[in-house]
Structure 1
Protein backbone atom coordinates (compact mmCIF):
# COMPACT_ATOMS: atom_id res chain seq x y z
CA UNK A 1 0.00 0.00 0.00
CA UNK A 2 1.40 3.41 -0.95
CA UNK A 3 1.21 6.57 1.17
CA UNK A 4 -1.37 8.01 -1.20
CA UNK A 5 -3.84 5.16 -0.77
CA UNK A 6 -6.60 5.44 1.79
CA UNK A 7 -5.99 3.55 4.98
CA UNK A 8 -7.05 3.89 8.63
CA UNK A 9 -4.61 5.85 10.80
CA UNK A 10 -4.77 4.99 14.51
CA UNK A 11 -5.44 8.15 16.52
CA UNK A 12 -6.18 10.29 13.46
CA UNK A 13 -8.94 12.86 13.99
CA UNK A 14 -11.03 14.52 11.28
CA UNK A 15 -9.57 17.97 12.00
CA UNK A 16 -6.02 16.66 12.39
CA UNK A 17 -5.72 17.95 15.96
CA UNK A 18 -4.08 14.74 17.24
CA UNK A 19 -1.40 15.04 14.56
CA UNK A 20 -0.84 18.74 15.19
CA UNK A 21 -0.76 18.31 18.97
CA UNK A 22 2.02 15.72 18.54
CA UNK A 23 3.91 17.69 15.87
CA UNK A 24 3.17 21.30 16.83
CA UNK A 25 6.75 22.51 17.13
CA UNK A 26 7.87 20.93 13.85
CA UNK A 27 4.82 22.21 11.96
CA UNK A 28 5.28 25.69 13.41
CA UNK A 29 8.93 25.78 12.35
CA UNK A 30 8.09 24.52 8.84
CA UNK A 31 5.32 27.03 8.13
CA UNK A 32 5.77 30.20 10.18
CA UNK A 33 8.16 31.93 7.76
CA UNK A 34 6.48 30.96 4.46
CA UNK A 35 5.80 34.07 2.36
CA UNK A 36 2.07 34.17 1.58
CA UNK A 37 2.02 37.77 0.31
CA UNK A 38 0.57 36.99 -3.15
CA UNK A 39 -2.36 35.13 -1.58
CA UNK A 40 -2.95 37.91 0.93
CA UNK A 41 -3.28 40.39 -1.94
CA UNK A 42 -6.01 38.36 -3.67
CA UNK A 43 -8.02 38.14 -0.43
CA UNK A 44 -7.49 41.63 0.96
CA UNK A 45 -8.46 43.26 -2.34
CA UNK A 46 -12.07 42.42 -1.42
CA UNK A 47 -11.99 43.90 2.11
CA UNK A 48 -12.37 47.45 3.45
CA UNK A 49 -9.60 49.05 5.55
CA UNK A 50 -9.48 47.79 9.15
CA UNK A 51 -11.86 44.94 8.27
CA UNK A 52 -12.73 42.27 10.84
CA UNK A 53 -11.08 38.98 9.79
CA UNK A 54 -11.47 35.47 11.19
CA UNK A 55 -8.40 33.26 10.72
CA UNK A 56 -10.17 29.90 10.72
CA UNK A 57 -7.49 27.33 11.48
CA UNK A 58 -4.59 29.71 12.07
CA UNK A 59 -1.84 27.09 12.43
CA UNK A 60 1.36 28.89 13.42
CA UNK A 61 -0.35 32.28 13.65
CA UNK A 62 1.68 33.49 10.67
CA UNK A 63 -1.27 34.91 8.75
CA UNK A 64 -3.00 36.30 11.84
CA UNK A 65 0.14 38.32 12.57
CA UNK A 66 0.52 39.44 8.95
CA UNK A 67 -3.07 40.73 8.80
CA UNK A 68 -2.77 42.37 12.22
CA UNK A 69 0.36 44.20 11.07
CA UNK A 70 -1.61 45.50 8.09
CA UNK A 71 -4.18 47.11 10.38
CA UNK A 72 -6.98 44.55 10.34
CA UNK A 73 -8.97 43.37 13.37
CA UNK A 74 -8.24 39.68 13.91
CA UNK A 75 -9.99 36.77 15.57
CA UNK A 76 -8.16 33.44 15.41
CA UNK A 77 -9.10 29.83 16.07
CA UNK A 78 -7.15 26.59 15.91
CA UNK A 79 -8.40 23.08 16.85
CA UNK A 80 -4.99 21.91 18.11
CA UNK A 81 -4.37 23.19 21.64
CA UNK A 82 -0.59 22.76 21.33
CA UNK A 83 -0.45 24.68 18.07
CA UNK A 84 -2.80 27.36 19.41
CA UNK A 85 -0.36 28.08 22.25
CA UNK A 86 2.51 28.54 19.79
CA UNK A 87 0.33 30.73 17.57
CA UNK A 88 -0.64 32.95 20.51
CA UNK A 89 3.01 33.53 21.38
CA UNK A 90 3.80 34.36 17.77
CA UNK A 91 0.92 36.66 16.87
CA UNK A 92 0.33 38.27 20.27
CA UNK A 93 -3.41 37.60 20.24
CA UNK A 94 -5.58 34.98 21.96
CA UNK A 95 -6.30 31.91 19.83
CA UNK A 96 -9.50 30.01 20.57
CA UNK A 97 -9.16 26.22 20.63
CA UNK A 98 -12.15 25.53 18.42
CA UNK A 99 -13.13 23.48 15.37
CA UNK A 100 -14.70 25.14 12.35
CA UNK A 101 -17.57 22.65 12.77
CA UNK A 102 -18.44 24.38 16.05
CA UNK A 103 -18.32 28.10 15.22
CA UNK A 104 -21.58 29.99 15.81
CA UNK A 105 -20.87 33.65 14.99
CA UNK A 106 -23.57 35.60 13.16
CA UNK A 107 -22.61 38.36 10.69
CA UNK A 108 -19.42 39.14 12.62
CA UNK A 109 -16.66 39.26 10.01
CA UNK A 110 -15.89 41.11 6.80
CA UNK A 111 -13.58 38.30 5.74
CA UNK A 112 -12.72 34.74 6.72
CA UNK A 113 -9.29 33.29 5.93
CA UNK A 114 -9.30 29.46 5.83
CA UNK A 115 -5.86 28.72 4.45
CA UNK A 116 -5.11 24.98 4.31
CA UNK A 117 -7.58 24.29 7.12
CA UNK A 118 -10.90 23.20 5.61
CA UNK A 119 -9.02 20.46 3.77
CA UNK A 120 -9.09 18.43 7.02
CA UNK A 121 -12.90 18.54 7.22
CA UNK A 122 -14.61 15.34 5.97
CA UNK A 123 -16.38 15.91 2.66
CA UNK A 124 -19.79 15.09 4.13
CA UNK A 125 -19.33 17.85 6.73
CA UNK A 126 -18.07 20.55 4.38
CA UNK A 127 -21.48 21.90 3.27
CA UNK A 128 -22.55 22.62 6.86
CA UNK A 129 -19.12 24.07 7.70
CA UNK A 130 -19.37 26.42 4.73
CA UNK A 131 -22.87 27.44 5.81
CA UNK A 132 -21.55 28.22 9.29
CA UNK A 133 -18.77 30.32 7.77
CA UNK A 134 -21.29 32.10 5.55
CA UNK A 135 -23.45 32.90 8.58
CA UNK A 136 -20.40 34.33 10.33
CA UNK A 137 -19.80 36.75 7.43
CA UNK A 138 -21.40 40.15 7.20
CA UNK A 139 -23.51 40.72 4.06
CA UNK A 140 -21.09 40.97 1.15
CA UNK A 141 -18.24 39.46 3.17
CA UNK A 142 -15.71 37.12 1.57
CA UNK A 143 -14.22 33.72 2.39
CA UNK A 144 -10.81 32.54 1.19
CA UNK A 145 -10.22 28.78 1.28
CA UNK A 146 -7.51 26.51 -0.10
CA UNK A 147 -7.38 22.77 -0.70
CA UNK A 148 -4.78 20.40 -2.07
CA UNK A 149 -5.60 20.00 -5.73
CA UNK A 150 -7.31 16.73 -6.55
CA UNK A 151 -10.51 14.79 -5.95
CA UNK A 152 -11.82 12.72 -3.06
CA UNK A 153 -10.78 11.91 0.49
CA UNK A 154 -7.60 10.26 1.72
CA UNK A 155 -5.48 9.71 4.81
CA UNK A 156 -1.78 10.39 4.80
CA UNK A 157 0.76 10.45 7.64
CA UNK A 158 -1.77 10.70 10.46
CA UNK A 159 -4.03 13.29 8.83
CA UNK A 160 -7.10 13.03 6.64
CA UNK A 161 -7.53 15.26 3.61
CA UNK A 162 -10.41 16.29 1.39
CA UNK A 163 -8.89 17.26 -1.97
CA UNK A 164 -10.78 19.49 -4.40
CA UNK A 165 -10.45 20.64 -7.99
CA UNK A 166 -12.63 23.18 -9.79
CA UNK A 167 -15.38 20.66 -10.53
CA UNK A 168 -15.36 19.41 -6.94
CA UNK A 169 -15.67 22.93 -5.56
CA UNK A 170 -18.55 23.68 -7.92
CA UNK A 171 -20.33 20.48 -6.82
CA UNK A 172 -19.79 21.36 -3.18
CA UNK A 173 -21.17 24.88 -3.54
CA UNK A 174 -24.37 23.64 -5.17
CA UNK A 175 -25.31 22.61 -1.62
CA UNK A 176 -24.26 26.00 -0.21
CA UNK A 177 -26.22 28.71 -2.05
CA UNK A 178 -25.22 31.21 0.63
CA UNK A 179 -21.85 31.51 -1.14
CA UNK A 180 -20.86 32.35 -4.69
CA UNK A 181 -17.39 32.08 -6.23
CA UNK A 182 -15.62 35.36 -6.96
CA UNK A 183 -12.43 33.80 -8.32
CA UNK A 184 -10.65 30.46 -8.31
CA UNK A 185 -7.03 29.76 -9.22
CA UNK A 186 -4.28 27.20 -8.71
CA UNK A 187 -0.85 27.75 -7.21
CA UNK A 188 2.26 25.78 -6.36
CA UNK A 189 3.05 25.09 -2.73
CA UNK A 190 5.01 28.02 -1.31
CA UNK A 191 7.13 25.91 1.03
CA UNK A 192 10.72 25.33 -0.19
CA UNK A 193 11.15 21.93 -1.77
CA UNK A 194 7.42 21.35 -2.26
CA UNK A 195 6.82 23.51 -5.30
CA UNK A 196 5.56 20.48 -7.23
CA UNK A 197 2.44 20.25 -5.04
CA UNK A 198 -0.61 22.12 -6.37
CA UNK A 199 -3.31 23.98 -4.45
CA UNK A 200 -6.81 25.08 -5.37
CA UNK A 201 -7.52 28.59 -4.07
CA UNK A 202 -10.92 30.26 -4.02
CA UNK A 203 -12.44 33.53 -2.87
CA UNK A 204 -16.18 33.23 -2.25
CA UNK A 205 -18.65 35.97 -1.39
CA UNK A 206 -21.74 35.82 0.79
CA UNK A 207 -24.85 36.33 -1.30
CA UNK A 208 -27.29 39.04 -0.26
CA UNK A 209 -30.17 36.66 -1.00
CA UNK A 210 -29.21 32.97 -1.29
CA UNK A 211 -30.70 31.02 -4.17
CA UNK A 212 -32.64 27.84 -3.25
CA UNK A 213 -30.40 25.01 -2.09
CA UNK A 214 -29.98 21.97 -4.32
CA UNK A 215 -29.56 18.44 -3.04
CA UNK A 216 -26.71 17.76 -0.67
CA UNK A 217 -23.69 16.03 -2.14
CA UNK A 218 -23.41 13.31 -3.86
CA UNK A 219 -20.00 14.47 -4.83
CA UNK A 220 -18.88 13.24 -8.25
Structure 2
Protein backbone atom coordinates (compact mmCIF):
# COMPACT_ATOMS: atom_id res chain seq x y z
CA UNK A 1 0.00 0.00 0.00
CA UNK A 2 2.82 2.46 0.78
CA UNK A 3 4.56 1.59 -2.51
CA UNK A 4 1.51 2.86 -4.43
CA UNK A 5 1.65 6.11 -2.46
CA UNK A 6 5.32 6.63 -3.35
CA UNK A 7 4.79 5.70 -7.00
CA UNK A 8 1.89 8.16 -7.24
CA UNK A 9 3.58 10.96 -5.24
CA UNK A 10 7.24 10.38 -6.14
CA UNK A 11 8.06 13.91 -7.31
CA UNK A 12 6.37 15.57 -4.31
CA UNK A 13 8.16 13.23 -1.86
CA UNK A 14 11.46 13.73 -3.68
CA UNK A 15 11.12 17.51 -3.54
CA UNK A 16 10.27 17.42 0.18
CA UNK A 17 13.19 15.21 1.22
CA UNK A 18 16.12 15.62 -1.18
CA UNK A 19 17.52 18.71 0.58
CA UNK A 20 16.87 17.81 4.23
CA UNK A 21 20.04 18.39 6.29
CA UNK A 22 21.08 14.98 7.68
CA UNK A 23 24.61 15.68 8.95
CA UNK A 24 23.71 15.05 12.61
CA UNK A 25 22.71 11.47 11.74
CA UNK A 26 25.66 10.95 9.38
CA UNK A 27 27.94 11.97 12.26
CA UNK A 28 26.64 9.01 14.31
CA UNK A 29 26.92 6.50 11.46
CA UNK A 30 29.82 7.23 9.12
CA UNK A 31 32.68 7.15 11.70
CA UNK A 32 31.74 3.50 12.37
CA UNK A 33 32.44 2.43 8.76
CA UNK A 34 35.88 1.70 7.25
CA UNK A 35 37.13 4.41 4.89
CA UNK A 36 35.82 3.65 1.39
CA UNK A 37 33.55 0.92 2.81
CA UNK A 38 30.42 -0.50 1.19
CA UNK A 39 27.02 0.78 2.34
CA UNK A 40 23.58 -0.64 1.50
CA UNK A 41 21.12 2.29 1.34
CA UNK A 42 17.94 0.36 2.12
CA UNK A 43 14.95 2.40 1.02
CA UNK A 44 16.98 5.16 -0.60
CA UNK A 45 13.98 7.36 -1.45
CA UNK A 46 15.22 10.52 -3.18
CA UNK A 47 18.82 9.29 -3.19
CA UNK A 48 19.91 12.12 -0.87
CA UNK A 49 21.87 9.87 1.51
CA UNK A 50 23.44 7.77 -1.25
CA UNK A 51 24.73 10.99 -2.84
CA UNK A 52 26.16 12.19 0.49
CA UNK A 53 27.88 8.86 1.17
CA UNK A 54 29.33 8.66 -2.37
CA UNK A 55 30.70 12.20 -2.03
CA UNK A 56 32.65 11.03 1.02
CA UNK A 57 34.23 8.11 -0.84
CA UNK A 58 31.94 5.25 0.21
CA UNK A 59 30.68 2.63 -2.24
CA UNK A 60 26.88 2.56 -2.10
CA UNK A 61 24.28 0.10 -3.37
CA UNK A 62 20.80 1.64 -3.29
CA UNK A 63 17.45 -0.13 -3.15
CA UNK A 64 13.86 1.09 -2.99
CA UNK A 65 10.46 -0.55 -3.46
CA UNK A 66 9.09 2.36 -5.52
CA UNK A 67 10.06 2.23 -9.19
CA UNK A 68 9.09 5.89 -9.64
CA UNK A 69 11.26 7.08 -6.74
CA UNK A 70 14.10 4.84 -7.92
CA UNK A 71 14.04 6.65 -11.30
CA UNK A 72 14.30 10.06 -9.64
CA UNK A 73 17.08 8.85 -7.34
CA UNK A 74 19.03 7.38 -10.29
CA UNK A 75 19.04 10.79 -11.98
CA UNK A 76 20.45 12.38 -8.81
CA UNK A 77 23.07 9.77 -7.89
CA UNK A 78 24.10 8.81 -11.46
CA UNK A 79 23.94 5.07 -10.77
CA UNK A 80 21.25 2.35 -10.80
CA UNK A 81 18.79 1.85 -7.95
CA UNK A 82 17.59 -1.72 -7.47
CA UNK A 83 13.80 -1.93 -7.21
CA UNK A 84 12.98 -4.51 -4.54
CA UNK A 85 11.41 -4.89 -1.11
CA UNK A 86 13.39 -5.57 2.05
CA UNK A 87 11.75 -8.98 2.32
CA UNK A 88 12.77 -9.94 -1.26
CA UNK A 89 16.22 -8.33 -1.37
CA UNK A 90 19.15 -10.64 -2.06
CA UNK A 91 22.74 -9.45 -2.39
CA UNK A 92 25.68 -11.11 -4.09
CA UNK A 93 28.18 -8.84 -2.29
CA UNK A 94 28.92 -8.02 1.35
CA UNK A 95 28.44 -4.63 3.01
CA UNK A 96 30.20 -2.86 5.87
CA UNK A 97 27.00 -1.03 6.80
CA UNK A 98 23.26 -0.80 6.20
CA UNK A 99 21.49 2.58 6.23
CA UNK A 100 17.70 2.24 6.61
CA UNK A 101 16.64 5.81 7.36
CA UNK A 102 12.86 6.14 7.80
CA UNK A 103 12.26 3.18 5.48
CA UNK A 104 11.69 0.03 7.55
CA UNK A 105 8.77 1.81 9.21
CA UNK A 106 6.61 0.89 6.21
CA UNK A 107 7.02 -2.85 6.94
CA UNK A 108 4.23 -4.44 9.04
CA UNK A 109 5.38 -5.25 12.57
CA UNK A 110 5.06 -9.03 12.10
CA UNK A 111 7.28 -8.87 8.96
CA UNK A 112 10.02 -6.74 10.55
CA UNK A 113 12.05 -9.71 11.90
CA UNK A 114 12.29 -11.08 8.33
CA UNK A 115 13.16 -7.65 6.90
CA UNK A 116 15.89 -7.01 9.50
CA UNK A 117 17.30 -10.53 9.11
CA UNK A 118 17.27 -10.34 5.32
CA UNK A 119 19.09 -6.99 5.24
CA UNK A 120 21.62 -8.29 7.79
CA UNK A 121 22.57 -11.35 5.68
CA UNK A 122 25.01 -9.44 3.42
CA UNK A 123 26.28 -7.33 6.35
CA UNK A 124 29.83 -8.18 7.43
CA UNK A 125 30.32 -9.53 10.95
CA UNK A 126 30.69 -6.49 13.20
CA UNK A 127 29.03 -4.30 10.55
CA UNK A 128 26.74 -1.45 11.57
CA UNK A 129 23.07 -1.07 10.75
CA UNK A 130 21.34 2.30 11.20
CA UNK A 131 17.54 2.49 11.26
CA UNK A 132 14.89 4.96 12.35
CA UNK A 133 11.21 4.70 13.18
CA UNK A 134 8.56 7.16 14.26
CA UNK A 135 8.43 6.81 18.02
CA UNK A 136 5.46 4.81 19.35
CA UNK A 137 4.07 1.36 19.94
CA UNK A 138 1.42 0.90 17.26
CA UNK A 139 0.72 0.57 13.56
CA UNK A 140 -1.17 3.30 11.72
CA UNK A 141 -2.24 4.26 8.23
CA UNK A 142 -2.08 7.90 7.17
CA UNK A 143 -2.91 9.26 3.71
CA UNK A 144 -2.31 5.96 1.92
CA UNK A 145 0.88 5.11 3.80
CA UNK A 146 1.30 2.41 6.41
CA UNK A 147 3.59 3.00 9.41
CA UNK A 148 4.93 0.68 12.09
CA UNK A 149 5.94 2.85 15.06
CA UNK A 150 8.51 1.50 17.50
CA UNK A 151 9.72 2.30 20.97
CA UNK A 152 12.79 0.75 22.57
CA UNK A 153 10.91 -2.31 23.87
CA UNK A 154 9.30 -3.12 20.50
CA UNK A 155 12.62 -2.72 18.67
CA UNK A 156 14.43 -4.95 21.15
CA UNK A 157 11.73 -7.63 20.83
CA UNK A 158 12.36 -7.73 17.06
CA UNK A 159 16.15 -7.70 17.39
CA UNK A 160 16.00 -10.69 19.75
CA UNK A 161 15.08 -12.82 16.70
CA UNK A 162 17.97 -11.53 14.53
CA UNK A 163 21.79 -11.44 14.45
CA UNK A 164 21.67 -7.74 15.34
CA UNK A 165 22.11 -6.09 18.74
CA UNK A 166 21.51 -2.47 19.68
CA UNK A 167 24.68 -0.48 20.30
CA UNK A 168 23.01 2.92 20.67
CA UNK A 169 19.40 4.13 20.77
CA UNK A 170 18.40 7.79 20.84
CA UNK A 171 15.38 9.99 20.14
CA UNK A 172 15.39 13.01 17.83
CA UNK A 173 12.87 15.46 16.46
CA UNK A 174 12.01 15.31 12.78
CA UNK A 175 14.65 17.05 10.65
CA UNK A 176 12.08 18.39 8.16
CA UNK A 177 10.92 21.99 8.63
CA UNK A 178 7.61 22.26 10.47
CA UNK A 179 7.77 18.70 11.82
CA UNK A 180 10.32 19.17 14.61
CA UNK A 181 7.81 18.01 17.24
CA UNK A 182 7.51 14.54 15.64
CA UNK A 183 9.71 12.12 17.58
CA UNK A 184 11.95 9.48 15.97
CA UNK A 185 13.66 6.46 17.48
CA UNK A 186 17.14 6.11 15.99
CA UNK A 187 19.26 2.97 16.40
CA UNK A 188 22.80 1.90 15.65
CA UNK A 189 22.80 -1.89 15.55
CA UNK A 190 25.76 -4.22 15.19
CA UNK A 191 25.88 -7.66 13.58
CA UNK A 192 27.52 -10.14 15.90
SS of residue paired to 1:77? strand
2:26 matches 1:40 = yes
Distance, in Å, in 1 between the alignment partners of 2:12 and 2:76 is: 15
Query: Which residue of structure 2 aligns with residue 191 of structure 1?
Result: 176
Are the equivalent residues in 2 in contact too, given 1:54–1:112 (CA < 8 A)? yes
For structure 1, the residue ranges without an aligned partner over 5 or more in a row are 1-12, 208-220
- SS of aligned partner of 1:102: coil
Give the TM-score normalised by structure 2.
0.98
Which residues in structure 2 correspond to 1:165-176 (within 5 Å)? 165-176=151-162
Deviation at 1:171, TM superposition (A): 1.4
CA distance in 2: counterparts of 1:21 and 1:99, whole angstroms: 14
* 1:135 matched residue in structure 2: 121
Q: Distance between the aligned counterparts of 2:45 and 2:77, measured in 1? A: 11
Distance 2:159 2:84 in 1: 24
Deviations 1:72-121 (CA, angstroms, capped at 9, x unpaired): 00100111011100000011111011111111226610000000000000
Counterpart mapping for 1:1-220 below 5 A: 13=1, 16-105=2-91, 108-176=94-162, 178-207=163-192
The answer for unaligned runs of 5 or more in structure 2 is: none
Q: Distance in 1 between matches of 2:172 and 2:85?
A: 26
Take 1:81 and 1:22, find their aligned partners in 2: how far apart are those partners? 10
Give the CA RMSD over aligned residues. 0.9
CA contact (8 A) 1:50 1:71 kept: yes
Query: Is the radius of gyration larger for structure 1 or structure 2?
Result: 1
2: distance between equivalents of 1:167 and 1:125? 17
